[in-house]
Amino acid sequence: MQYTAGTSVAGAARVEGVKYDEDIVKMFLIASVTWAVVGLLVGVIIALQLAWWPANLGLPWTTFGRLRPLHTNAVIFAFGGNIVFTGMYHSMQRLLKTRMWSDTLSRIHFWGWQLIIVSAAVTLPLGLTQAKEYAELIWPIDIAITLIWVVMAVNFFGTLAIRKVEHLYVAIWFYMSFVLVIAVLHITNSMAMPATLTRSYPVYAGLTDALVQWWYGHNAVGFFLTTPFLGLMYYYLPRISGRPVFSYRLSIIHFWALVFLYIWAGPHHLLYSALPEWAQTLGMIFSVMLIAPSWGGMLNGLLTLRGAWDRVRTDPILKFLVVAVSFYGMSTFEGPMMSIRAVNLLSHYTNWTIGHVHSGALGWNGMISFAMIYWLVPELWKRPLAHPTWPTAHFWLATIGIVLYTVSMWAAGLTEGLMWRAFDDSGLLKYPNFVDIVNQLHPFYWLRLVGGLMFLTGAIMMAINVFQTISRPSSSTAAAA
């Protein structure tokens, strides 16, 4: 049983009389494209600052220390968040055969989320921070995030309650884990006693604080950059390729294994720290056990494409998907390896971690988002892309950019890790001057900048393409998109 593939024909079955809320999907899509360009641009700026310090401009607001959290918040919560919401609002309505429960809550969610992003973009350069990685935002913004999240969750479960199907497709399970777990993580990690409007004291102290922070930090990766994106994969990959999902059984088993194991893996960020060693061991072994559940997602993605490989050669959207799923598999193998004590001894504090982060972030989150955007724009606006050949160019720019980024950071990480631990014949540090090591890294920083620039260029091409497509008057031949 197979339906027409690679066209804009919506799924085989449709309920009559349901009018989906397409506007909210369009709003989130435009927001993701915009924030993608902003977040990547800030990434390129901080990459330049590491290669060439005068780019700090000597102003407190533009120094690396303040722009770095701006970059991470912009790419994860603004770009990543908005693209996940785009996909959720688009696919949920179709999978559940119902309009969202409340259009008002959808809009409060949209504008609230954008407002949170803007307030982050103002407060972080001003130096207002709680100094917890990925949870830097000050307490009033944390409260706003909680409220908006609750609005979104009520709408999400409200829509589930009024659904017109019995069976819940696997993508919905992944979204559900995102909605629930991120709420728990955010509230637990952000607990603080306000002192002034912009300052607060965390309720946890010392080691407890560190453990809660990295329980949060790792699961932000697990439940913000992994499970909702797997949900997107499970909807868009079979829809775009027109192929049946390889294995339902695998999807259920790897889902439960993934959500169960992720929660325990946080201490791999605290190896060789004051954290009791049994907790470190737990973090390490649960991370190693994560390989197979993660690869379950990759397998289900790649094997679903069986029978569509001929089209991968010509269709840039499928190309983006294949590379995304492959990088997901790559970084979820690398992560567990880095969780092993002896490996982490070398990799921790080095640029290797940065390479790992971006092979996941650019390769997996970035590429799958681009595939979605290129497929959704003609669907939603019912017209062909303004520049149909650009996505292929974007694909190659992005792919080569990722390779330059990750390879240069692996090389830099190994170089510095090995130089730090080298001794000379008399038992002294071989490279006692930190600056000597930094000088070795310098060429790699430039190389990373080139990779980042290529990735950004591709994203700007996408933004131009999207905005020119949607600002053109809609044509009557649109459905041929």
Partner 1 sequence: MSKKELNQVLGHADEADGIEEYDNPLPNWWLGLFYFTIVWGVLYGINYHFVAHNSEVKTLAAEMADADAKWPRQAEAAAATEVKLTPEAVAAGEAVLTANCVSCHGADMKGGIGPNLLDTTWIHGGAPENIVNTITKGVPEKGMLTWGPILGPEKIAEVAAYVISKNHEATGTPAVGEPAAPADTTKAGSPS
Q: Residue 55 interacts with partner 1 (CB under 8 A)?
A: no
Q: Which stretch binds ligand HEM (CB under 6 A): 5-13, 42-50, 159-167, 272-280?
A: 42-50
DSSP assignment of 164-186 equals S-SSPPHHHHHHHHHHHHHHHHH
- What tokens does 434 get? 């930190």
Q: Which stretch binds ligand HEM (CB under 6 A): 5-13, 52-60, 348-356, 375-383?
A: 348-356
DSSP assignment of 363-421 equals IIIIHHHHHHHHHHHHHHHTS--SSTTHHHHHHHHHHHHHHHHHHHHHHHHHHHHHHHT
Q: Residue 381 interacts with ligand HEM (CB under 6 A)?
A: no
**Residue in 228, 194, 256, 285 with CA at minimum distance from that of residue 88:** 228
Which of 23, 41, 133, 295 touches partner 1 (CB under 8 A)?
295
**Residue in 258, 74, 245 with CA at minimum distance from that of residue 173:** 258
Q: State which of positions 160-189 bind ligand HEM (CB under 6 A).
A: none
What gap in Å lies between CA 337 and CA 352, rounded to an integer? Answer: 12
What gap in Å lies between CA 85 and CA 28, rounded to an integer? Answer: 7
Q: Residue 124 interacts with ligand HEM (CB under 6 A)?
A: no
Which of 34, 146, 353, 415 touches ligand HEM (CB under 6 A)?
353
Which of 231, 297, 355, 366 touches ligand HEM (CB under 6 A)?
366
Residue 475 C-beta: closest distance to partner 1, Å:
26
Q: Residue 361 interacts with ligand HEM (CB under 6 A)?
A: yes
Q: Residue 333 interacts with partner 1 (CB under 8 A)?
A: no
Task: State phi, psi for 420 to the nearest 5 degrees.
Answer: -60, -35
Q: 265 touches which of partner 1, ligand HEM, none (CB within 5 to 8 A by kind)?
A: ligand HEM
CA angle, residues 410, 415, 421, in degrees to nearest 5:
125
Q: State which of positions 236-295 bind ligand HEM (CB under 6 A).
A: 265, 268-269, 287, 290, 294
User: Is the separation of the CB atoms in 98 and 162 below 8 Å?
Assistant: yes
**Judged by CB, which is closer to ligand HEM: 39, or 378?**
39
**Judged by CB, which is closer to partner 1: 289, or 330?**
289
What gap in Å lies between CA 321 and CA 367, rounded to an integer? Answer: 7
Q: State which of positions 229-258 bind partner 1 (CB under 8 A).
A: 235, 238-239, 244-251, 253, 257
Q: Residue 105 interacts with ligand HEM (CB under 6 A)?
A: no
Q: 332 touches which of partner 1, ligand HEM, none (CB within 5 to 8 A by kind)?
A: ligand HEM
CB neighbour list of residue 413: distance below 8 Å, 6 or more residues apart: 347, 350, 351, 352, 353, 354, 355
Which of 21, 133, 209, 379 touches ligand HEM (CB under 6 A)?
133
Burial class (CB in 10 A: 0-12, 13-18, 19+), 398: buried
Q: 283 touches which of ligand HEM, partner 1, none (CB within 5 to 8 A by kind)?
A: none
User: Is the separation of the CB atoms in 82 and 150 below 8 Å?
Assistant: no
CB neighbour list of residue 349: distance below 8 Å, 6 or more residues apart: none
Q: 365 touches which of partner 1, ligand HEM, none (CB within 5 to 8 A by kind)?
A: ligand HEM
Q: Residue 17 interacts with partner 1 (CB under 8 A)?
A: no
CB neighbour list of residue 95: distance below 8 Å, 6 or more residues apart: 165, 168, 169, 171, 172, 235
User: Taking each helix axis from N to C terminus, what angle separates 227-241 and 206-224, rounded to the nearest 10 degrees?
Assistant: 10
Whole-number Cα distances in Å, 353 to 137, 144, 409: 23, 31, 8
Q: Which stretch binds ligand HEM (CB under 6 A): 7-15, 148-156, 310-318, 347-355?
A: 347-355
What gap in Å lies between CA 65 and CA 308, rounded to an integer? Answer: 46
- Note the residues at the interface with partner 1 (CB under 8 A): 1-3, 10-13, 91, 94-95, 97, 165-167, 169-170, 235, 238-239, 244-251, 253, 257, 272, 277-278, 280-282, 284-286, 288-289, 291-293, 295-296, 299, 341, 426-429, 432-433
Which residues of the chain form contacts with ligand HEM (CB under 6 A)?
40, 43-44, 46-47, 50, 68, 71-72, 75-76, 80, 133, 217, 221, 225-226, 265, 268-269, 287, 290, 294, 331-332, 335-336, 338-339, 344, 347-348, 353-354, 356-358, 360-362, 364-366, 452, 455-456
